[in-house]
């Protein structure tokens, strides 16, 4: 009898542990909203609004990719970044330049008219990003839905990778999300449509590399460094907000692999990006993405994986009526 009880207990414990590991992701599903929105196709509604925005403003792709990373990188994909108010995630320094909130609000407003209280803000973020990528590349990919919104948004939770991170530092962060260093290299490819500002590279790469006054990062292509110092980011405070493209300017609005080709030529603007090529542990992956068309299908896969980090499902959390405040 004792043995039987012990065996039952082991089985129950094993099931409980498996439940902890997979429960949330297991409850996400393709087409979660089918038949739940009074005859409306939720995903078609989102796609229509995103396509219309993309036609007016192609930069929305970069804005949504960044919003998604800043969302899912803090407590998972839970809508926490969307909350307004003092001391929320939105007010943390890395998030002050995040854009695209208005599009999420527009989508939520339309869906609330069609089926109130059904579609979560966190699912809208995932779907909108997917549809922006699709609008840019013509390539769709499946994402599972069924997330719910967390009742938490605290600025001090925000601890995202810095622009000067080494590969081990960045990889450690991605590991906390359950993502590999390969996923990291692929996801940083979002910078193919990104921009930054001179303030992010002047000190660390152009004028005081390694803390030495006047030193320039030797891993940066000298011609590029000279262009930055002469024209884009001269060493005066007035250049701090000048825009720096993270990819070749001719390709700056295309989601493609040219970002990795830039890294091969030592023309990455941010140190965290160029380090992917400087570091032997990730260089092979940069070479693979630069020299093949694998980015085209690996990037959507990595985005889908990022979108399933630490989600709430079932009866956890809530489905917000308004994305900027808790119910």
The reply, when asked if residue 256 is annotated as ligand binding, is: yes
Distance CA 61, CA 58 (A): 6
Q: Is 23 annotated as a binding residue?
A: no
Q: Which residue has the tokens 């060493």?
A: 235
CA-CA distances (angstroms) from residue 135 to 42, 96, 322?
A: 17, 26, 26
Positions annotated as catalytic residues are 70
- DSSP-derived 3-state class of residue 218: coil
DSSP 156-216: GG--PPPTT--HHHHHHHHHHTT--HHHHHHHGGGGGG-EEEGGGTIIIIII-GGG-TT--
185 is in an annotated binding site: no
108: Cβ contacts below 8 Å, ≥ 6 apart: 119, 121, 124, 320, 322, 323
User: For 155-188, what is each residue's pLDDT tens digit?
Assistant: 999 999 999 999 999 999 999 999 999 999 999 9
192 carries a ligand binding annotation: yes
Q: Which of 256, 193, 258, 201 is nearest to 224 (CA)?
A: 201
Instruction: Kindly list the structural domains of the chain, giving each domain's residue range(s) and its CATH number in brackets, ordered by start.
Output: 40-155 (1.10.520.10), 165-305 (1.10.420.10)
Q: Walk along the chain (327 residues) and give the pLDDT tens digit of each residue.
A: 555 544 444 444 444 444 444 466 669 999 999 999 999 999 999 999 999 999 999 999 999 999 999 999 999 999 999 999 999 999 999 999 999 999 999 999 999 999 999 999 999 999 999 999 999 999 889 999 999 999 999 999 999 999 999 999 999 999 999 999 999 999 999 999 999 999 999 999 999 999 999 999 999 999 999 999 999 999 999 999 999 999 988 888 899 999 999 999 999 999 999 999 999 999 999 999 999 999 999 999 999 999 999 999 999 999 999 999 999
Kindly list the distances between the CA atom of residue 227 and the CA atoms of 184, 220, 230, in Å, as whole numbers in the listed order.
Answer: 29, 11, 5
Q: What is the model's pLDDT at position 15?
A: 44
Residue position matching structure tokens 């303030």: 199
């Amino acid at each position: 009898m004792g043995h039987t009880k012990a065996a039952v207990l082991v089985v129950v414990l094993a099931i409980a542990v498996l439940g902890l590991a997979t429960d949330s992701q297991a409850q996400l599903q393709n087409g979660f909203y089918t038949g739940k929105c009074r005859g409306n196709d939720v995903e078609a509604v989102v796609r229509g609004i995103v396509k219309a925005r993309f036609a007016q403003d192609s930069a929305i792709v970069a804005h949504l990719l960044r919003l998604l990373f800043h969302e899912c990188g803090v407590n998972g994909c839970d809508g926490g970044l969307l909350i307004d108010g003092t001391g929320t995630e939105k007010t943390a320094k890395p998030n002050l330049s995040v854009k695209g909130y208005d599009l999420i609000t527009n989508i939520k407003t339309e869906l609330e008219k069609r089926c109130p209280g059904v579609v979560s803000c966190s699912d809208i973020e995932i779907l909108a990003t997917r549809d922006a990528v699709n609008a840019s590349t013509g390539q769709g990919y499946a994402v599972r839905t069924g997330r719910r919104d967390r009742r938490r948004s605290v600025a001090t939770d925000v601890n995202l990778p810095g622009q000067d991170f080494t590969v081990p530092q960045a990889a450690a962060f991605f590991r906390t999300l359950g993502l590999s260093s390969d996923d990291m290299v692929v996801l940083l490819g979002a910078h193919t449509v990104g921009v930054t500002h001179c303030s992010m590279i002047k000190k660390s790469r152009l004028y005081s590399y390694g803390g030495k006054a006047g030193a320039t990062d030797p891993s940066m292509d000298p011609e590029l460094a000279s262009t930055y110092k002469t024209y884009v980011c001269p060493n005066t405070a007035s250049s701090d907000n000048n825009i720096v493209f993270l990819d070749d300017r001719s390709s700056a609005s295309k989601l493609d692999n040219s970002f990795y080709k830039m890294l091969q030529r030592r023309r990455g603007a941010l140190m965290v990006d160029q380090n992917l090529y400087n570091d032997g542990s990730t260089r092979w992956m940069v070479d693979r993405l630069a020299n093949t068309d694998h980015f085209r299908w690996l990037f959507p896969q990595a985005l889908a994986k990022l979108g399933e980090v630490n989600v709430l499902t079932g009866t956890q959390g809530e489905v917000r009526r308004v994305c900027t405040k808790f119910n």
